Structure 1
Amino acid sequence: MGAAKWAVPLLLLAVLLAGGWVLVRGDSEVYAVPQKLCEVPVTPSALQPLLPPGEKLEVDEIDTENPLDAPILLCRVHVDDETVMALNVRAFSSPSPDLMEKFRAARSAYGIANPHEDSIDGEYAIVDAGGSLVETACPGRGGEAVLEINVKDFSVQGDSGEGRERMKNFTEDFMNSAREVYC
């Protein structure tokens, strides 16, 4: 009988706390998570964990040419006028002989502070919570052509296993869509 006496007040407290959490969270994240980033379809549930809360999300694509061995997509994501993510896709006539060596030669260009070797959808990848680098076959561009995809998440602080998984999930989703768009 004593437990029943506290059931209603505890239930009321839980409802009030949950409602307050929704109000606080709702005020801090007003923008809708896009279904495309610079014409490349993305799964909002894969993108959302990488984005910080805010009121306004904007996506800018930097104009590029589409020849082989050149950038084909340079895309920036801004939340409340702050750049939070960069997506770069380049096409090459053949894969890098050693992607890790290429990364090490220009480490700061890729936004990966703590490189972990991994596999994304069967492709060799370099990943940390704040970025990823992967090459994937693109036969529609001829011969051994590949897309090099680099994702940089500027809103991430530090590295963690959870953060790497979020980056890996988004990179896989983006890579599969980019192949459909550009190959």
Structure 2
Amino acid sequence: MTTHRSFSRNSALILLALSAFLTACADDKPNYTAPDHICDTPIDPAALRALLPSGEKLEAAPVPGVATTCEVRVDSRFYIDITGYAVVGALDPVEHARTLQLENTIEENWGPGIPAVLADDGAVFSLPCGAGDGTDAVLVQIHLYGDHVPEDERRERITDFTRSYVTGLAEQLDCDARPTSPSPTR
């Protein structure tokens, strides 16, 4: 004899919980496509995507001002701020990083004249290349906002994005200098 059980309240709750879980998992994927340029600078879309949360709409727009600034937002929330200064005579990114109070900084040299300071919440680098206006170097600071990137992966993701951005900026400005490949220990 077959016993039929009616759809119980517990079954409904289990299905509701499963549905909510599957919906939450689906929200982990963004509904936007990471671009291969932000504010006219070529970048690796995967490196950019690794720093951003899921969401509906990604925006990267220059902000007018004294320095060149690019803000990256997802669903109108601010996540990445990139500010570049075209200068005469290279500025020391280590000195500049001290004024920014970046978290857990380390210094690296990415090639002749390309010193970088990397942190858990940003980076600063100097690129020996002018912006075509009599300058001969660019100092760039990058800040990451929010706690959406796992803490143990933040430094690596910021480093990957920064390296991509430096390479793209050198290409955009038609610089001879390019960052060297990452060391095999990373």
User: TM over 0.5, yes or no?
Assistant: yes
The corresponding residue for 1:99 is: 93
Percent sequence identity over aligned pairs: 24
1:120 corresponds to 2:110: yes
Residue number in structure 1 paired with 2:167: 176
Question: Deviation at 1:140?
Answer: 6.6
Structure 1 spans left out of the alignment, 5+ residues: 1-19, 65-69
The question of whether the paired residues in 1 share the 8 Å contact of 2:96 and 2:124 is answered with no
Which residue does 1:167 correspond to in 2?
Answer: 158
1:154 aligned onto 2:148: no
Q: Which of 80, 83, 98 is the aligned partner of 2:78?
A: 83
Normalised to the residue count of structure 1, the TM-score between the two structures is 0.70
Contact 1:77–1:86 at 8 Å: present in 2 too?
yes
**Distance between the aligned counterparts of 1:80 and 1:117, measured in 2?**
33
More helix by share: 1
Q: Give the corresponding residue for 1:14.
A: none
RMSD (Å) for aligned C-alpha atoms: 2.9
**Distance (Å, rounded) in 2 between the aligned partners of 1:25 and 1:179:** 38
Change (3 A) 1:22 1:92: farther
Q: Which residue of 1 aligns with 2:177?
A: none
Q: What is the aligned partner in structure 2 of residue 52 from structure 1?
A: 53
In terms of Rg, which structure is larger?
A: 2
Contact conserved, 2:123 with 2:162, CA < 8 A, in 1? yes
Q: Displacement, 1:53?
A: 1.4
Is the 8 Å Cα contact of residues 105 and 120 (structure 2) preserved in structure 1? no
Aligned to 2:39: 38
Secondary structure of 1:174 counterpart: helix
Q: Which residue is equivalent to 2:13?
A: none
Considering fraction of residues, name the structure with more strand.
Answer: 1
Q: Deviations over 1:1-45 (max 9, x none)?
A: xxxxxxxxxxxxxxxxxxx98864443421111111111111111
- Report if the CA contact (8 A) 1:129-1:158 is conserved: no
1:136 matched residue in structure 2: 127
**Alpha carbons of 1:121 and 1:50: their partners in 2 closer, same or farther (altered >3 Å)?**
farther
When residues 77 and 139 of structure 1 are mapped into structure 2, their CA distance, relative to the original with a 3 A threshold, is closer
Counterpart of 1:27 in structure 2 is 27
TM-score calculated relative to the size of structure 2: 0.69
State the partner residue of 2:64.
63
The answer to whether the 8 A contact 2:72-2:81 is kept is yes
Distance (whole Å) between structure 2 residues aligned to residue 35 and residue 158 of structure 1: 20
Q: Tell me how far apart the structure 2 counterparts of residues 137 and 27 of structure 1 sit (CA, whole Å).
A: 42
Post-superposition offset of 1:103: 2.5
Q: Deviation at 1:129?
A: 2.3
Mapped partners of 1:176, 1:38: distance in 2: 14
One-letter amino acid of the structure 2 residue matched with residue 82 of structure 1? R
